[in-house]
Amino acid sequence: EDVFSEESLRAVNPAVMVAESAPVPTPAAVPEFAKLKSPKLRYRWQWHWRPVLAFAVVSLICVIPFGTMALLQKVSSARGEIETISQEATNQLSQAASSSTQLDFSGAVTSFDAAATNFHDAHDQLTSINEALTPIMRALPKTGNQFSSAENILIAGEQLSNAGADVATAFSVLEQYTKQSDIASSSTDLLVTAHSAFRPAVPRLERATIALNEIDLTTVPAEYRDEIAAAQEAVPLIAQSLDEVLSLSETLLVILGHDEAKRYLVVFQNNRELRATGGFIGSFAVVDIYQGKVSAIEIPGGGPYDLAGSLKAKVISPQPLHLVNAGWQMQDANWWPDFPTSAQKVQWFYLKSGGSAVDGVITLTPDVIEQMLEITGSIEMSEYNTTVTADNFYNITQTQAERKYDDTRESKKFIADLTPKLLNKLFTLDAHNYVPVLQVIYNSLAQKDILLYFNDVFLENELAERGWTGEVKQTSGDYLMVVDTNIGGGKTDAEITETIEHQADIQADGSVLDTVTVTRTHTGASGDTFADLNNVDYMRLYVPAGSELISTTGFTQPDPNLFLKVEAGYKPDTDLQTISGDTLIDEASQTRINQEFGKTVFGNWVQTKPGSTSKVVIKYRLPFTIKPQGLFQPATRYSLLVQKQAGAFDPLVLTKVTYPAKYSVLWSYPNATGTLHQALQTDSFTGLVFE
């Protein structure tokens, strides 16, 4: 059903519309686990949820008329009347901007409409100067350009005025809707209403873009040239941004169960005990959602440990995990940094433990909860005689979670009791807090503190395009992803300061030798219950497939006697064999080498005690060359994609490229040297083109 059809929109009522009894979810079956795919890296526009989207339109359209009047002074006929009309339009736009900033959307609509009418009238006056002379004026080299530019400025002004009216109307509609509706009960209807209200502005912005692109800046007086140029650049971005938001709203309708109920596995990953996709799985929730309303939520008090007794599959865990458990269970299921793969394995363990089928997996780290608490304020937990705030959330939660499971059987119950109270606070926030909440969600998705996986292929592909699904990306150039896996090292990763240095040395023959240096400093305070422990990290470096290990230094192997033996009855895991394949051991360093997700993987152990620093160095040869081939291939390129591990605490990344003196740089990104020196909050790319 098309939820944006006229019939569907008429059905949307500002009153509460959620059914009294939400239907039981009928989720899709878990897809075939071994079938993997990762989208190729491509440029994508990143939008931002900010209320200034509307006001950006307002501010941009206000600069158009000033350039119009100066330009029209060079048009010989009917100048006075056109200038008068343009001046009126300018005044009305100024009034519209003022009304918008004061949230007087009704007044803004009136002013925008009046401005649009005046721009239209001015355009009519200009084009009716003389139907016989118009094509002649357009054809003349100088006068024609001036005439055409003036005409297009008026067209752009009219379209932007209409777009401003559309946006102001949309905000007015939403303002009335939120006053009359229970947002917690009808959020998908709100999305439908918002989509319908904002959609008309997009084609107007697109038409304004076309008109602005036709303006010859050389005919615009110098004092207005910068403003017109800024509009030419900004308006298409605003149009694209708004279109992106509307497209996302359509995707959200599916995720939020607008037409059919959904069931999701929500996994809480503790990045203080870092694992491949964000952190140790300490708790999880099964959430049913229908029309944007949480109809049921179940959070086992013992977390994934509640499932251990009912797990029917007895499979051997990845070898490094034998340090804590040779049998593979749900809490260790997020072994691979490719989130779709780990999410499917989490579902597999849940199903094998008697759980129901779900529609997808959503993960989040404590950082997300802390940021939400900064918005909602404190939460009283009278049953625990405490108050939870953004500052004490982690310590209180971890103290409760570390209570001996054998004594309480409900070591994770604190999370179960806190979650509905936090959700209730979020759903009852004042309207002015919606944007900060959305910004937290957006930033968390971009920085991989929230990851999404859906069994619905359409949804998964849509969100993969936005970079929210945590795949190991594919690229034809150099690549690096450092994956830290805390195994038996306590909750110490927040106390680790990590620096990753990557140097690519291009040799005279075009071969490339990479050197990666990882420095980890443990800043945990002595006596701290959670931080004063040895950090034990199984570190994996994902590099281009076919890379050849040359040497390593600095790795520290745990005592072999600490690894647990596989119990009778446990069998190799088919998925692990299929995805990770055979593992080779480098005799000199005991580095484990395998191939997965189109990469070569080097894995080894790093141990860092409180107050100390560990430093490891890995050297390897890339499987390709960087060398111009003379007349037939005079230029060649080197590029590096550095992916951030989900949940990681923004390690400092330093990159460097050296090359033969005979190479000349034609192009570089993001700076003249094509290097990085930054905290790795998101995936980053560098590149150089040589001749």
Model pLDDT for residues 81-127, shown as the tens digit of each residue: 545 554 555 565 555 455 545 555 566 556 666 655 655 565 555 45
Instruction: Provide the pLDDT for residue 108.
Output: 54
Distance CA(691)–CA(665), nearest Å, equals 7
- Residue whose tokens read 């990851």: 451
User: How would you list the strands of the sheet with 684-690, edge to edge?
Assistant: 584-585, 592-596, 599-608, 535-544, 478-486, 636-642, 684-690, 665-669
Position with higher pLDDT, 236 vs 661: 661
**Structure confidence at residue 170 as a pLDDT band (50, 70, 90):** confident
**Percentage of the chain lying above the pLDDT 70 cut:** 75
Residues contacting 361, CB < 8 A, separation 6+: 264, 265, 266, 267, 343, 346, 347, 452, 453
pLDDT at 395 over 60: yes
Average pLDDT, integer, range 493-517: 98
Burial level of 594, CB count in 10 A (0-12/13-18/19+)? middle
In this structure, the strands spanning 386-388 and 379-381 are antiparallel
User: Where does the pLDDT of residue 182 fall: very low under 50, low under 70, confident under 90, or very high at 90 and above?
Assistant: low
pLDDT tens by residue, 114-165: 655 655 565 555 455 444 444 544 444 444 567 778 778 778 777 877 887 7
| Range in 113-122, 372-381, 476-485, 662-671 with the lowest mean pLDDT | 113-122
**3 state DSSP class of 234:** helix
Residue 285 confidence (pLDDT): 94
Of residues 506 and 81, more confidence is placed in: 506
User: Buried b vs exposed e over 617-651: b needs ≥16 C-beta within 10 Å?
Assistant: ebbbebebebbbeeeeeeebebbbbbbbbbbbbeb
Contact residues for 288 (Cβ-Cβ < 8 A; gap 6+): 22, 24, 25, 261, 262, 263, 294, 295, 296, 297
Structure tokens at 325: 């458990």
Assign 39 a pLDDT band (cuts: 50, 70, 90): very low
pLDDT at 12: 37
Which phi and psi angles does 375 have, rounded to 5°? -90, -45
State residue 631's pLDDT score: 67
Mean pLDDT of 617-643: 91
Nearest CA among 194, 190, 124, 188 for reference residue 166: 194
Q: In terms of Cα–Cα distance, which of 444, 442, 434, 511 is closest to 478?
A: 511
Helix (H, G, I), strand (E, B) or coil at 205: helix
For domain 478-555+591-690, give the CATH number.
2.60.40.1170
Share of the chain above pLDDT 90, in %: 52
Q: Which residue has the higher pLDDT, 444 or 126?
A: 444
Report pLDDT digits (tens) over 193-238.
Answer: 888 888 888 898 899 889 889 888 888 778 778 877 887 888 888 8
Q: Is 5 helix (H, G, I), strand (E, B) or coil?
A: coil
**Alpha-carbon gap, residue 6 to 8, rounded angstroms:** 6
Can you spell out the DSSP letters for 540-600? EEEEETT-EEEEEE---PPPGGGSPPPPTT-B--HHHHHHH---EE-TTT--EEEEETTEE
Confidence (pLDDT) at 537: 99
Q: What is the pLDDT of residues 291-320, one digit of tens each?
A: 888 889 999 888 899 998 899 999 999 999
Higher pLDDT, 261 or 112: 261
Q: What is the mean pLDDT of residues 483-490?
A: 97
What Å distances lie between residue 510 and 335, 640, 652, 656, CA to CA?
Answer: 36, 16, 29, 16
Answer whether residue 654 shows pLDDT above 90. Answer: yes
Amino acid at 544: P
Alpha-carbon distance of 181 to 188, in angstroms, equals 12
pLDDT number for residue 640: 98
pTM: 0.80
* 40-54, 156-170, 488-502: which is most confident: 488-502
Q: Nearest CA to 443 among 467, 465, 423, 418?
A: 467
Q: Say what the pLDDT of residue 66 is.
A: 38
Q: Which residues of 240-270 are buried (b: 16+ CB within 10 A; e: fewer)?
A: bbbbbbbebbeeebbbbbbeebbbbbbbbbb
Q: What are the b/e assignments for 515-534, b being 16+ CB within 10 Å?
A: bbbbbbebebeeeeebbbbb
- pLDDT tens, 551-610? 999 999 999 999 999 999 999 999 999 999 999 999 999 999 999 999 999 999 999 999
Please name the fold of domain 260-465: Aminopeptidase (3.40.630)
pLDDT at 231: 79
Per-residue buried b or exposed e for 535-551, using 16+ beta carbons within 10 Å of the residue's own CB: bbbbbbbbbbeebebee
User: Cα–Cα distance between 134 and 136 in angstroms, integer?
Assistant: 5
Q: What is the pLDDT of residue 220?
A: 78
Per-residue pLDDT of 408-423, as tens digits, reads: 445 567 888 898 899 8
